[in-house]
């Protein structure tokens, strides 16, 4: 099966392009990389790097700036723009970035739940046109697109799990989005994208392995192992929200009973507090109340943290990550306590549990990151 996530191997031209990608990746991840650093980091011969840089500069994609401490390479807008889209259950966020991952324009709108895929993409296209107009760039400047969905996505781009994102189930999201936008597209699960972004730019920086735990309308984890996303064969790795902790518990949308998600997903937390707070609340307002000392809100958030802690302890026993990055409104102290209690000491002794740094932007930034990888190389067409 051809995978949307791996490069096709092959010819001399393919080798040149893969070298170019390695050089570009250096420029994407570090601002102000010198030619010598790029050669060291990629392991390519200095002459090879110098050829690639000369070719990129001739195409207007790279600028060489003399800083006084040596010549530093910068990717310019001429290298093309990419689009990242985070399509949630109830929101759509879109970011347009340059190839150095700097976001130039960003838009966010609310969505009706269970929107069919075609309608979601139409909405994304409307946001894209508005964002491009804001920065005065044509559609032709965009060279790649990354899309995040709150459901398992396999290597061909097919969306699995019928009841989790009904509007997209059975669709090939890569095919649908490339047909609509006329661009190369990569699609991944939103928790995976959050993990990728936190690992690249946020609280997971510098760690070899992290688990990024996301709490929103769903509960999931994205896993980075040896610096790479670990997705499993069908893209379902890290679905900790569906660890069952109570055989006779509530029926989950996955079809199982007593899943962690049936206790801690945002909508269930709000349901518990509806009599107390009234309808139409958000997790943010529950946290604000808890901070003011509201005992019911404190109690519910503590219980949520404990349930999450149990699921995270299981994840640590199996996966033994270096760092857990928490993306969502959990109280950290009950969560830490339960991880220590249920985790094997050797799996949790050196474990760091930290808050995410990118907040609700993590998934859209991860979509930008995969868009950068899928964008064709410069001068290749």
Query: Which residues are at the interface with Zn ion (CB under 5 A)?
Result: 242, 252, 254, 256, 259
Task: Round to whole Å and give the CA distance between 23 and 53.
Answer: 8
Judged by beta carbon, residue 182 or residue 232, the one nearer Zn ion is: 232
Phi/psi of residue 85, nearest 5 degrees: -125, 125
Task: Round to whole Å and give the CA distance between 99 and 143.
Answer: 10
Judged by beta carbon, residue 132 or residue 260, the one nearer Zn ion is: 260
Judged by beta carbon, residue 19 or residue 262, the one nearer Zn ion is: 262
Nearest approach, Cβ of residue 153 and Zn ion (Å): 17
Concatenating the DSSP letter of every residue in 271-286 gives HHTHHHH-SS--HHHH
With residue 120 as reference, give the H or E element that holds it.
helix 117-134
Judged by beta carbon, residue 252 or residue 365, the one nearer Zn ion is: 252
Structure tokens at 13: 């031209």
Nearest approach, Cβ of residue 214 and Zn ion (Å): 15
Nearest approach, Cβ of residue 256 and Zn ion (Å): 5
Q: Which DSSP state fits 10?
A: -
Place of tokens 């410069």: 378
Nearest approach, Cβ of residue 257 and Zn ion (Å): 8
Nearest approach, Cβ of residue 155 and Zn ion (Å): 23
Nearest approach, Cβ of residue 248 and Zn ion (Å): 14
Judged by beta carbon, residue 94 or residue 254, the one nearer Zn ion is: 254
Nearest approach, Cβ of residue 292 and Zn ion (Å): 33
Decide: helix, strand or coil at residue 205.
coil
Judged by beta carbon, residue 98 or residue 261, the one nearer Zn ion is: 261
Judged by beta carbon, residue 184 or residue 238, the one nearer Zn ion is: 238
Judged by beta carbon, residue 174 or residue 252, the one nearer Zn ion is: 252
Nearest approach, Cβ of residue 242 and Zn ion (Å): 4
Signed CA dihedral, 8, 369, 179, 132: sign only: negative
Q: Which residues are within 8 A (CB) of 238 and not within 5 positions of it... i.e. 6 or more apart?
A: 191, 192, 195, 211, 220, 221, 222, 223, 230, 232, 315
Task: Round to whole Å and give the CA distance between 71 and 50.
Answer: 12
Nearest approach, Cβ of residue 255 and Zn ion (Å): 7
Judged by beta carbon, residue 272 or residue 296, the one nearer Zn ion is: 272
Task: Round to whole Å and give the CA distance between 368 and 341.
Answer: 38
Task: Round to whole Å and give the CA distance between 122 and 291.
Answer: 40
Judged by beta carbon, residue 220 or residue 366, the one nearer Zn ion is: 220
How far CA 311 is from CA of 46, 130, 285, 315, in Å, comes to 48, 41, 25, 6
Nearest approach, Cβ of residue 240 and Zn ion (Å): 10
Concatenating the DSSP letter of every residue in 74-115 gives EE-GGG-EEEEEEE-SSEEEEEEEETT--EEEEEEEE--TT-
Q: Which DSSP state fits 251?
A: B
Q: Is 170 exposed, middle or buried (0-12, 13-18, 19+ CB in 10 A)?
A: exposed
């Amino acid at each position: 099966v051809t995978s949307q996530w791996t490069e096709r191997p092959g010819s001399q031209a393919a080798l040149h392009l893969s070298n170019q990608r390695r050089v570009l990746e250096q420029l994407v991840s570090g601002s102000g990389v010198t030619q010598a650093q790029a050669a060291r980091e990629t392991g390519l011969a200095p002459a090879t790097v110098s050829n690639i840089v000369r070719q990129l500069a001739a195409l207007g994609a790279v600028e060489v700036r003399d800083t006084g401490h040596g010549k530093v390479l910068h990717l310019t807008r001429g290298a093309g723009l990419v689009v990242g889209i985070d399509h949630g259950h109830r929101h759509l966020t879109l970011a347009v970035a340059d190839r150095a991952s700097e976001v130039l324009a960003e838009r966010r709108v609310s969505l009706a739940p269970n929107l069919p895929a075609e309608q979601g993409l139409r909405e994304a296209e409307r946001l894209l046109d508005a964002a491009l107009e804001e920065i005065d760039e044509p559609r032709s400047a965009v060279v790649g697109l990354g899309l995040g969905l709150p459901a398992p996505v396999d290597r061909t781009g097919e969306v699995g799990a019928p009841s989790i994102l009904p509007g997209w189930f059975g669709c090939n999201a890569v095919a649908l989005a490339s047909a609509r936008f006329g661009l190369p597209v990569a699609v991944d699960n939103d928790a995976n994208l959050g993990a990728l972004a936190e690992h690249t730019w946020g609280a997971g920086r510098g760690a070899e392995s992290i688990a990024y735990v996301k709490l929103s309308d769903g509960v999931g984890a994205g896993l980075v192992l040896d610096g790479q996303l670990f997705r499993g064969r069908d893209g379902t790795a890290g679905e900790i929200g569906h660890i069952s902790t109570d055989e006779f518990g509530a029926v989950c949308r996955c079809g199982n009973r007593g899943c962690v998600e049936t206790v801690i997903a945002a909508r269930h937390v709000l349901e518990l507090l509806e009599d107390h707070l009234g309808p139409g609340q958000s997790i943010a307002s529950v946290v604000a109340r808890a901070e003011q000392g509201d005992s019911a809100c404190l109690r519910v958030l503590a219980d949520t943290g404990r349930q999450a802690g149990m699921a995270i302890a299981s994840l640590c026993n199996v996966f033994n990550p270096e760092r857990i990055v928490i993306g969502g409104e959990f109280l950290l102290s009950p969560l830490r306590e339960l991880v220590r209690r249920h985790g094997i000491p050797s799996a949790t002794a050196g474990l760091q549990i930290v808050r995410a740094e990118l907040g609700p932007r993590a998934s859209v930034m991860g979509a930008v990151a995969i868009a950068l990888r899928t964008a064709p190389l410069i001068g290749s067409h």
